[in-house]
Amino acid sequence: MVKSNRRKFIVTAAGLAATTVVNGTPNMDTEKGNIAHQVYFWLKNPGSEEDRELLIKGIKTLRQIDSVQKLTIGIVAATEKRSVIDDSWGVSELALFKDLAGQAAYQIHPIHLDFVKNYSHLWSKVVIYDSLEV
Amino acid sequence: MVKSNRRKFIVTAAGLAATTVVNGTPNMDTEKGNIAHQVYFWLKNPGSEEDRELLIKGIKTLRQIDSVQKLTIGIVAATEKRSVIDDSWGVSELALFKDLAGQAAYQIHPIHLDFVKNYSHLWSKVVIYDSLEV
């Protein structure tokens, strides 16, 4: 019952969020049609905490891009090791966009281009998954 | 300025959320220390929309697990094709947990075990990334 009430609250809050405008800017949360842009970075120097922190600092600059609704950054979590888990990467970025246009605008935004120019020497590999929320 | 105001609002809202208790259940949003459990499923029959919808239906059952704070489901987004993008998968699941204990509880929860038992015939491969939010 508590769980059910909590769900009801969350649904109600999501409904409010979808229609609330604060200071002229719509306050959106993730919802159907949003784009989740998930990036995994493998560091050139996996053992360097300094490089990892520098890359995290760089990814944080991407939050300034207008079309980014939310951007979270992660490192490998200490969950139980299993064969299906890939824990060989170094830093993860999850950026949420309202739609495909928002994601496309991010790709060519000067702040994103600067990020690639200034921080790409830190990574050896990048894998990206773009999801359309259903 | 609008952007700055929106950020300020979001930060304030997050602060409220972290301390608000609704119907006895804390209402949490993503924050440092959370675990993002990202799963990509490759379908055995990639061309079957029926199989894809069935798997999505199965993943939705995981939202009933108490320790799941939020669970979003995606399909491949029609973003621009690039060599760094993996678009070979079929369905994505992003489950957020408060901490490692929440993720561990999810793994052994009867609803999760039932999901694997009832839906694993639909997928040929699974890749999981567990991120600790920083």
Tell me how far apart the alpha carbons of residues B34 and B97 are, in angstroms, rounded to a whole number: 6
Which one, of B27, B126, B115, B19, lies nearest residue B65 by Cα? B115
Contact B127 A86 (CB under 8 A): yes
Which one, of B130, B128, B132, B84, lies nearest residue A128 by Cα? B84
Which one, of B134, B100, B69, lies nearest residue A73 by Cα? B134
Distance to chain A for B50, nearest Cα, Å: 15
Which segments of chain A have a pLDDT < 70?
1-30
Are A131 and A38 contacting, i.e. CB atoms less than 8 angstroms apart? yes
**Residue B15 in domain:** no
- Predicted local distance difference test score (pLDDT) of residue B10: 42
- Predicted local distance difference test score (pLDDT) of residue A68: 97
Contact B131 A23 (CB under 8 A): no
**Residue B124 in domain:** yes
- Predicted local distance difference test score (pLDDT) of residue A31: 77
**Residue A121 in domain:** yes
- Predicted local distance difference test score (pLDDT) of residue A23: 32
Distance to chain B for A99, nearest Cα, Å: 10
**Residue A12 in domain:** no
- Predicted local distance difference test score (pLDDT) of residue B16: 37
Could you please report the per-residue DSSP string of chain A?
-HHHHHHHHHHHHHHHHHH-EETTEE---S-TT-EEEEEEEEESSTT-HHHHHHHHHHHHHGGGSTT-SEEEEEEE--PPP-TTB----SEEEEEEESSHHHHHHHHT-HHHHHHHHHHGGGEEEEEEEEEEE-
Task: Give chain B positions within 8 Å (CB) of A94.
Answer: 36, 38, 94, 131
The string of pLDDT tens digits covering residues B84-111 is: 999 999 999 999 999 999 999 999 999 9
**Residue A8 in domain:** no
A82: nearest CA partner in chain B: B128
Task: Using the CB atoms, write b or e for B59-81: b if 16+ within 10 Å.
Answer: beebeebebbbbbbbbebbebee
What is the ipTM score, two decimals? Answer: 0.77
Contact B84 A127 (CB under 8 A): yes
Tell me how far apart the alpha carbons of residues B37 and B69 are, in angstroms, rounded to a whole number: 11
**Residue B29 in domain:** no
B10: nearest CA partner in chain A: A27
- Predicted local distance difference test score (pLDDT) of residue B30: 56
Number of domains present in the structure of chain A:
1
Question: Which of A9, A79, A126 lies nearest to residue B22, judging by beta carbons?
Answer: A9
Residue the block writes with tokens 């299993």: A82
- Predicted local distance difference test score (pLDDT) of residue B31: 77
Half-sphere exposure of B107 (CA within 13 A, CB side): 14
**Residue A17 in domain:** no
Query: Which pair of tokens denotes residue B21?
Result: 């208790």
pTM as predicted:
0.78
Contact A103 B79 (CB under 8 A): yes
Are A103 and A53 contacting, i.e. CB atoms less than 8 angstroms apart? no
Which segments of chain B have a pLDDT < 70?
1-30
Tell me how far apart the alpha carbons of residues B40 and A129 are, in angstroms, rounded to a whole number: 9
Distance to chain B for A110, nearest Cα, Å: 17
- The enclosing domain of A77 has a CATH number of 3.30.70.100
The count of CB pairs under 8 A between chains A and B is 149
What sign does the CA torsion over B7, B8, B13, B19 have?
positive
**Residue A28 in domain:** no
Half-sphere exposure of B94 (CA within 13 A, CB side): 24
* DSSP three-state, residue B34: coil
Whole domain around residue A43: which residue ranges? 35-132
- Alpha-carbon A20 to chain mean position: 23
Distance to chain A for B23, nearest Cα, Å: 6
